[in-house]
Structure 1
Amino acid sequence: MAAKDRDILPNVVKPVHYDISLFDLQLGGSWAYKGIVRIDSKITHATNEIVLNSKEIEVQQAEIFGKDGIKLTEASEITYDKKSERVSFKFPQEIIPSGVVLCMAFTGVMNNVMAGFYRSKYKPAVEPSQDTPKEGDYHYMLSTQFESCDARRAFPCFDEPNLKATFDFEIEVPKGQTALSNMSVRSQREGSHPSRKIVSFERTPVMSTYLLAWAVGDFEYVEALTQRKYNGKSIPVRVYTTKGLKEQARFALECAHRTVDYFSEVFEIEYPLPKADLLAVHEFAMGAMENWGLVTYRTTAVLFDDGKSDTRYKNRIAYVVAHELAHQWFGNLVTMDWWNELWLNEGFATWVGWLAVDHFYPEWNVWSQFVAEGVQQAFQLDSLRASHPIEVPVKNALEVDQIFDHISYLKGSSVIRMLSDHLGRDTFLRGVASYLKSHAYGNATTNDLWTALSKASNQDVHSFMDPWIREIGFPVVTVAEEPGQISVQQNRFLSTGDAKPDEDQTTWWIPLGIKSGPNMENVNSRALVTKVDTIQSVDQDSFYKINKDLSGFYRTNYSAERLAKLGKSLQLLSTEDKIGLIGDAAALAVSGEGTSAALLALLEGFKEEQNYLVWSQISSSIANLRSVFSGNKSVATGLKTFALKLASPAADKIGWEFKPNEDYLTVQLRKLLIGMAGFAGDENVITQAKRRFELWITGTGQSAIHTNLRSVIFGINVSGGGKDEYESVKEEYLKTDSVDGKEICLAALGRTKEAGLVKDYLDFVFSDKVAIQDVHNGAVSLAANSEVRQLLWEYIKDNWDTVEARLSANNVVFERFVRMGLSKFADQAVGMDIASFFQDKDTSAYDRALVIVLDSIRTNARYKERDEKLIFEWLQAHDYV
């Protein structure tokens, strides 16, 4: 996207260095603070007006000084444009091109909306320091969240990614509190009051404003040193928490210091800062934020309590820590030129984050996990007309929050995985290292990355990758069998199965990866580079499969006969192949290019499957069927029976008891199978879940519910129970001290089937007893609950003012709530009602999400109308009804 097409600040001033001082923090009441920012700048064109970004900041004075410190002029007029989030300073005389210092005095507010410089409330684990801010029942910590456009919420600045500068930062805080920033502490001195101190930090490298960060709180930390030496010394890696929680940071610390060393080796560039801090933040909209040298995390993404935490969170922590540390190079050292190339940051950090986890924890089989979770989620969003290209035009930076989505992260990383597999991982990483070295401390584009990879591989990466990045959607490869050969044809895949000719213009480069032979020993790595091609010498009487290990980002459409043959040869398939086969069959059933009968027949063959990640794909495919067809009682009953007969024998075989040193994947499989069987009506599972729940409630067996089975046992009891079970889990939500306990309880509460409890649940979710970061989790849980999801929509309509007031301060949370809370319906009338309701609303924070919602509902409704009768006939013929 050309610079002329962007809505950016006037090109008359270039920042070089910021000197920021914050003081007089009101730690309670108004939560106001004062600040002075001095910006060493280059005036590139003569002007009498300077425009910066500013939001919810009041500038009292703006002066310009020469490099010699002599005052040149002072703003005679200060005006604000709230819509574009800018402040303009008009000066009485023209400023000629030169080096100057723009000095501003301003005031701001430490808000409570998880954006800018904000406060997080929490209940301390131990008695906090006396000067820890407190209001009511809660204590507070302070931290920042500036990506993408919220540095301007903390101080006036040139808030665009390619306007890089260095930063000096200091802040006045209570003496008993710890202050952190991107760099190490330079000095401390007395503050304006005997109880205060001023903490100054070393100068940062050249970086974008969105990567600046600071935090203040009653902190403690655990520390490890890197094994590698950097400039002759090991680097301290610390995880900070509020007091009483640091021991829960041990696992994240173990991951972090090893990952810093690993990436220094992989990227061939040493970690560039003198320290690496990670900070657990009690209220956090995203999962984490890659601020250079001070990465901030949601507590569940960095804290793990052995004996209390679900082991699934260990997997999450390892990945999120690696993802954010990857950004220290890819994003921070080298930054995208503009927000349309956000994928450069997020897609790459996602792929290389999993690369690091696989390196340290190969027994977790994370690339199969990536295929089951990452690739499939990317497929789902990208199969909608409402999708967008990986590299999406962003005219105004204020639009960018809505593209922090599965396309930028998961399709981006899926395409990188495809490219890495094609070039060879070593070659790919060598090209990445060259890219980072060439653009260190600067900005770069997608083309710059392709150029580096082309040079490393001696291939024209531009030509075959550009359609994947710049065009919307992805292909389905349809396989037709002919004597002695197969023909393959690519077309754009839409979940509605009705791509029009003008929507099917793209010809993608598609690595076919054809596995064949009796033992799968033959792999044909040729690519499909035209719309149609013929492949000779494929033995159809033996075995073949397209898209080895689901390396390529495309669906494959086989004939029903070939799909059935593949289903009878599961022992020849890799875990990724099985996941891809199920995912493709499910998606093609939705689009009408395959059938639900073929899908169900395929799934029947997986009764003996023992891999958790394959079962994860089976579970999600059945869950979607049960969701779409939930309105037809006969079909719903048949699908429930189908799920029961598939999952119950496996659940019974794996049992309830955890063995010492049981591997991670087995632990997750037990939880999944017990949940599948229980929610499908397995009486033995339900009886056992109720027995354990009762022991837990009465206190006669607090250990009756294993920490890894809380979500399942709570959910089964709330789903099949009434007010008593619901209230018990709600009480647990309020009192739990388990770091993951609130997320688990909230999801379980959303399984209630009683209208009165649904109302209570939503009132609870929108009260201040539930952190705003978790509100969308409540919506997701109810949206998945087909028996009451209509009540969620009715509640939203009836209580819109409350919903909007609670969510509108944070666009990320608002967008997620709308997208995830409303997209499960399979009724055109509901879609029309949603469209009508939002017609007169300001939907700017979630307009893209709303298009996705309506597109998803249309897809589900068409699938339901087309297949409802056919799926009933299949279920009836196979004795499930």
Structure 2
Amino acid sequence: MATKDREVLPDVAKPLHYHVSLYDLQLGGSWAYNGIVKVDARITRPTQEIVLNSKEIEVQNVDIFAQNGDKLTKASKITYDKKSERVSFKFPQEVTPSDVVLFINFKGTMNNAMTGFYRSKYKPAVEPATDTPKEGDFHYMLSTQFESCDARRAFPCFDEPNLKATFDFEIEVPKGQIALSNMPVKSERAGGNPGFKFVTFERTPVMSTYLLAWAVGDFDYVEAMTQRKYKGKSIPVRVYTTKGLKEQARFALECAHRTVDYFSEVFEVEYPLPKADLLAVHEFAMGAMENWGLITYRTTAVLFDEGKSDTRYKNRIAYVVAHELAHQWFGNLVTMDWWNELWLNEGFATWVGWLAVDHFYPEWNIWSQFVAEGVQQAFQLDSLRASHPIEVPVKNALEVDQIFDHISYLKGSSVIRMLSEHLGRETFLRGVADYLKAHAYGNATTNDLWSALSNASKQDVNSFMDPWIRKIGFPVVTVAEEQGRVSVRQNRFLSTGDVKPEEDESTWWIPLGIKSDLNTTDVDSRALNSKVDTIKGISQDSFYKINRDLSGFYRTNYPADRLAKLGKSRDLLSTEDKIGLIGDAAALAVSGEGTTSALLALLDGFKREKNYLVWSQISSSLSNLRSIFSQNEDAASLLKKFTLEVTAPAAEKIGWDFKPDEDYLTVQLRKLLITVTGLAGHEGIVAEAKRRFELWATGQDRTAVHTNLRSAIFGIAISEGSRKEYDAVKDEYLKTDSVDGKEICLAALGRTKNADLVNDYLNFVFSDKVAIQDVHNGAVSLAANSIVRHLLWQYMKNNWSTVEARLSANNVVFERFVRMGLSKFADHQVGADISSFFQNKDTSAYNRALVIVSDSIRTNASYKERDEKAVLEWLQTH
């Protein structure tokens, strides 16, 4: 996108340095504060007007000083443009090109919307310091969330990623509270108010406004020093929590200090700041935020309570910690030039986050997890017409929140994985290191990365990666076997299966990665660069599989008998191969390019599978089938029976009991098999889940529900039970002090099949008893519940003003709720009803979500209509 097509601030002034001072914080009531921001700015041409970004800020007066301290002029008029989130300062006389100081007095608010400078409520684990802010039953901590465009909610600024500057920051806080920012504390002095102090921080490096951060609270921390020396000494790495929780930060700390050293090594650039702080924030919309030197996390992404937390959260913490630390280089040290290249930050940090976790925890089989979760989710969104290219034009920065999605993160990281496999990981990382060194403390574009990788690999990376980044969608490679030869054809893949010629004009570079029993070296490195080609070196009589380890971002459509042969050659396939085979067969059944009968036959052959990640793909394919065909009673009942036939032998074999030395993947497999088989109505498993639940709920034996089986047992008990079970889990939600307990309880409550309880559940989800960040979890669990999901839509229609009032403060949460809550339907009428309901609403915060919802429903409904009869026939026969 050309720079001239962007809606950016007028270029008459460029920031060089900010001094931000916040004081008179009202810690309760109005939650207001006063501030002064002094901006050293370069005036580039004569002007009588300077425009900054500002939102929900009251600017009181503006003066301009020369560098020597002489006052040049005062703003005679201050005007706001709420829509574009800007404030204009008009001056009585012209300011000539020079370096000046813009002196701004303003008032702001510490909001409760999880954006800008905001407050988070929490119930303390231990008695907090007496000056900790408190209202009613809750205490408060304060922190910031500025990405993408919310630094302007905290202070007036030039809030664009390529307008980098250095920052001095100070804040007046109660004496008993800890203040944190990007850099270490420089000094403290008495505040202007009794009982308060001013905390001043060291100057930051040159950086974008969205990376500035600060926090205030009743904090404690755990600390480790890096093993590597930086400028001759180790760096302190700390995880901060509110008091009483710091021991739960030990695992994150262990991951963090090792990851700082690991990335310093692989990027060949030393970690650039004198400290690395991680902070657990009680109310947080995203998973985490990469502020330079002060990374903020939602509690479940950084805290782990040994013996009380589900081990699945360890995996999540290791990855999220690594992802955000990767940004300290890729995003913070080198920043995308503009928001259309958001994927550069997020796609890369996602891939390299998994790389770090694989390095430290090889036994977790991380790349198989990436294929089962990351790649498959990216495929799902990118197979809709409503998708967008990885690099998406962003005219106005306010549109950018809606592209923080699976395309930027997961498709971005999937194509980076494809490229790194093709170039070789060492070569790829060498190119990345060159890119970081060349653009340190500046901004860069996708083409800058391709240039560095081309130099490192001596290949023209730009030519083969360009369509992957700038074109919408991805291909399906259709395999044909005739007259002893194998040919391949590429077309764009759409889940609706109705690609129009004008939508199928891209020719992708497709690394075929052929696995064959002929040990031919030439077939493996071949790429498909045209629409059609013949593969020499393999025949239809030999074993072969295209897209080894699913390292290429494309689906493969085999002839039905080849798919059946591959299903029988499972011993020759890697875990990633199996996941890809099942995922492709399921997606092709939906689009009509394959059949559901072929998918069911393939799944039937996996009864003896032992790998958790393959089972996770089997379970998600079964769950989608059960969801799509849920309204046909015969099909629903036979699919339930089929699910039991596939999963019961493995579930019965793995049993309920954990062994002391059991590995992570076995623990996850037990939980998955008990959940799937129990929710499909397996009598023995349902009975045992109810027995254990009863012992736990009555207090006879609280250990009867193992930590790692809470989600399974609670879910089965509620699905099969009545108000008694529902109330017990709801009560646990309100009382639990386990960091992951609330998420687990909320998901389980959504399993109810009772209409009255669904209504109670939704009233509960939208009350202030549930943190706003968790509201979409409630929507997800109800949306997955095919028996009552229509009640969620009914509730939204009947209570739209409540829903909107609760969610509109935070666009990220609102968009996620709409998208995840409504996209599971498989009924054209419901799709039309949703479109008609939103026609006269202001949908600017979630309009992309609505397009995805509409596309998903159309896909599901068409699939149901086309395959319902065939599915029923296959199930009746088999």
Instruction: Give the shorter-chain TM-score range.
Output: over 0.9
Corresponding residue for residue 368 of structure 1? 368
- 1:786 equivalenced with 2:786 (yes/no): yes
Please tell me whether the aligned partners of residues 18 and 165 of structure 2 are also in contact (alpha carbons under 8 angstroms). Answer: yes
Corresponding residue for residue 341 of structure 2? 341
Please tell me whether the aligned partners of residues 377 and 406 of structure 2 are also in contact (alpha carbons under 8 angstroms). Answer: yes
Please tell me whether the aligned partners of residues 549 and 574 of structure 2 are also in contact (alpha carbons under 8 angstroms). Answer: yes
Please tell me whether the aligned partners of residues 523 and 536 of structure 2 are also in contact (alpha carbons under 8 angstroms). Answer: no
Aligned equivalents of 2:842 and 2:830: distance in 1?
Answer: 20
**Superimposed CA distance per residue, residues 103-141 of structure 1 (whole angstroms, 9 cap, x where no aligned partner):** 100000000000000000000000000000000000000
Corresponding residue for residue 30 of structure 2? 30
**Superimposed CA distance per residue, residues 611-670 of structure 1 (whole angstroms, 9 cap, x where no aligned partner):** 000000000000000000000000000110010111111000000000002100000000
Please tell me whether the aligned partners of residues 477 and 490 of structure 1 are also in contact (alpha carbons under 8 angstroms). Answer: yes
How do 1:469-480 residues align onto structure 2 when only pairs under 5 Å count?
A: 469-480=469-480
Corresponding residue for residue 632 of structure 2? 632
Aligned equivalents of 1:83 and 1:280: distance in 2?
Answer: 33
Give the aligned length: 878
- 1:416 equivalenced with 2:416 (yes/no): yes
Q: Per-residue deviation at 1:193?
A: 2.4
Alpha carbons of 1:608 and 1:520: their partners in 2 closer, same or farther (altered >3 Å)?
A: farther
Corresponding residue for residue 554 of structure 1? 554
- 1:877 equivalenced with 2:877 (yes/no): yes
Corresponding residue for residue 222 of structure 2? 222
Give the partner amino acid of 1:788: V
Corresponding residue for residue 317 of structure 1? 317
Q: Per-residue deviation at 1:540?
A: 2.0
Please tell me whether the aligned partners of residues 236 and 276 of structure 2 are also in contact (alpha carbons under 8 angstroms). Answer: yes
Q: Per-residue deviation at 1:2?
A: 1.1
Give the partner amino acid of 1:403: I
Aligned equivalents of 1:651 and 1:361: distance in 2?
Answer: 26
Alpha carbons of 1:29 and 1:520: their partners in 2 closer, same or farther (altered >3 Å)?
A: farther
Aligned equivalents of 1:320 and 1:520: distance in 2?
Answer: 40
Aligned equivalents of 1:648 and 1:382: distance in 2?
Answer: 33
Please tell me whether the aligned partners of residues 5 and 395 of structure 1 are also in contact (alpha carbons under 8 angstroms). Answer: yes
How do 1:580-619 residues align onto structure 2 when only pairs under 5 Å count?
A: 580-619=580-619
Corresponding residue for residue 680 of structure 2? 680
Q: Per-residue deviation at 1:542?
A: 2.5
Q: Per-residue deviation at 1:518?
A: 6.7
Q: Per-residue deviation at 1:483?
A: 2.6
> Gaps (5+ residues) in structure 2?
none
Please tell me whether the aligned partners of residues 334 and 441 of structure 2 are also in contact (alpha carbons under 8 angstroms). Answer: yes
Aligned equivalents of 1:754 and 1:384: distance in 2?
Answer: 33
How do 1:663-678 residues align onto structure 2 when only pairs under 5 Å count?
A: 663-678=663-678
Q: Per-residue deviation at 1:539?
A: 3.0
Corresponding residue for residue 863 of structure 2? 863
Corresponding residue for residue 96 of structure 1? 96
Aligned equivalents of 2:519 and 2:90: distance in 1?
Answer: 76
Aligned equivalents of 1:739 and 1:395: distance in 2?
Answer: 40
Q: Per-residue deviation at 1:537?
A: 2.8
Corresponding residue for residue 42 of structure 2? 42
- 1:545 equivalenced with 2:542 (yes/no): no
Corresponding residue for residue 86 of structure 1? 86
Give the partner amino acid of 1:577: D
**Superimposed CA distance per residue, residues 733-790 of structure 1 (whole angstroms, 9 cap, x where no aligned partner):** 0000000000000000000111110000000000000000000000000000000000
Q: Per-residue deviation at 1:520?
A: 9.7
Deviates more, 1:400-409 or 1:477-486: 477-486
Corresponding residue for residue 196 of structure 1? 196
Q: Per-residue deviation at 1:273?
A: 0.1
SS of the aligned residue for 2:73 comes to strand
Indicate the percent of aligned positions where both proteins have the same amino acid: 82
SS of the aligned residue for 1:635 comes to helix
How do 1:682-701 residues align onto structure 2 when only pairs under 5 Å count?
A: 682-701=682-701
Corresponding residue for residue 400 of structure 1? 400
Q: Per-residue deviation at 1:523?
A: 5.4
Deviates more, 1:836-845 or 1:512-521: 512-521
Runs (4+) of structure 1 exceeding 6 A deviation are 518-522
Corresponding residue for residue 752 of structure 2? 752
Please tell me whether the aligned partners of residues 16 and 166 of structure 1 are also in contact (alpha carbons under 8 angstroms). Answer: yes
**Superimposed CA distance per residue, residues 454-495 of structure 1 (whole angstroms, 9 cap, x where no aligned partner):** 000000000000000000000000000123321100000000
Please tell me whether the aligned partners of residues 729 and 749 of structure 1 are also in contact (alpha carbons under 8 angstroms). Answer: yes
Aligned equivalents of 1:242 and 1:505: distance in 2?
Answer: 55
Give the partner amino acid of 1:292: W
SS of the aligned residue for 2:63 comes to strand
- 1:428 equivalenced with 2:466 (yes/no): no
Aligned equivalents of 2:521 and 2:862: distance in 1?
Answer: 41
How do 1:182-261 residues align onto structure 2 when only pairs under 5 Å count?
A: 182-261=182-261
Q: Per-residue deviation at 1:400?
A: 0.2
How do 1:475-874 residues align onto structure 2 when only pairs under 5 Å count?
A: 475-517=475-517, 524-874=524-874
Give the partner amino acid of 2:82: K
Corresponding residue for residue 332 of structure 1? 332
SS of the aligned residue for 1:280 comes to strand
Aligned equivalents of 1:26 and 1:367: distance in 2?
Answer: 49
Corresponding residue for residue 142 of structure 2? 142
Aligned equivalents of 1:518 and 1:871: distance in 2?
Answer: 37
Aligned equivalents of 2:578 and 2:525: distance in 1?
Answer: 19
Please tell me whether the aligned partners of residues 692 and 704 of structure 1 are also in contact (alpha carbons under 8 angstroms). Answer: yes
Aligned equivalents of 1:21 and 1:69: distance in 2?
Answer: 18
TM-score, normalised with respect to structure 1:
0.99
SS of the aligned residue for 1:304 comes to coil
Please tell me whether the aligned partners of residues 484 and 536 of structure 1 are also in contact (alpha carbons under 8 angstroms). Answer: no
SS of the aligned residue for 2:861 comes to helix
Q: Per-residue deviation at 1:522?
A: 8.4
Please tell me whether the aligned partners of residues 519 and 572 of structure 1 are also in contact (alpha carbons under 8 angstroms). Answer: no
Please tell me whether the aligned partners of residues 47 and 96 of structure 1 are also in contact (alpha carbons under 8 angstroms). Answer: yes
**Superimposed CA distance per residue, residues 672-729 of structure 1 (whole angstroms, 9 cap, x where no aligned partner):** 0001110111000000000000000111110000000000000001111110000000
Corresponding residue for residue 165 of structure 1? 165
SS of the aligned residue for 1:39 comes to strand
Aligned equivalents of 1:299 and 1:2: distance in 2?
Answer: 40
Please tell me whether the aligned partners of residues 485 and 537 of structure 1 are also in contact (alpha carbons under 8 angstroms). Answer: no
Please tell me whether the aligned partners of residues 170 and 199 of structure 2 are also in contact (alpha carbons under 8 angstroms). Answer: yes
Aligned equivalents of 2:231 and 2:523: distance in 1?
Answer: 46
Give the partner amino acid of 2:483: P
Q: Per-residue deviation at 1:519?
A: 8.2
TM-score, normalised with respect to structure 2:
1.00
Aligned equivalents of 1:520 and 1:719: distance in 2?
Answer: 53
**Superimposed CA distance per residue, residues 558-589 of structure 1 (whole angstroms, 9 cap, x where no aligned partner):** 01100000000001000000000000000000
> Gaps (5+ residues) in structure 1?
none
Aligned equivalents of 1:705 and 1:192: distance in 2?
Answer: 54
**Cα RMSD after superposing both structures:** 0.8
Aligned equivalents of 2:330 and 2:695: distance in 1?
Answer: 50
Alpha carbons of 1:152 and 1:599: their partners in 2 closer, same or farther (altered >3 Å)?
A: same
Give the partner amino acid of 2:659: K
Aligned equivalents of 1:518 and 1:474: distance in 2?
Answer: 29
Please tell me whether the aligned partners of residues 484 and 538 of structure 1 are also in contact (alpha carbons under 8 angstroms). Answer: no
**Superimposed CA distance per residue, residues 786-828 of structure 1 (whole angstroms, 9 cap, x where no aligned partner):** 0000000000000000000000010000000000000000000
SS of the aligned residue for 2:156 comes to coil
Aligned equivalents of 1:697 and 1:831: distance in 2?
Answer: 40
**Superimposed CA distance per residue, residues 593-621 of structure 1 (whole angstroms, 9 cap, x where no aligned partner):** 00000000000010000000000000000
Deviates more, 1:530-539 or 1:606-615: 530-539
Please tell me whether the aligned partners of residues 486 and 539 of structure 2 are also in contact (alpha carbons under 8 angstroms). Answer: no
Aligned equivalents of 1:325 and 1:192: distance in 2?
Answer: 37
Please tell me whether the aligned partners of residues 40 and 102 of structure 2 are also in contact (alpha carbons under 8 angstroms). Answer: yes
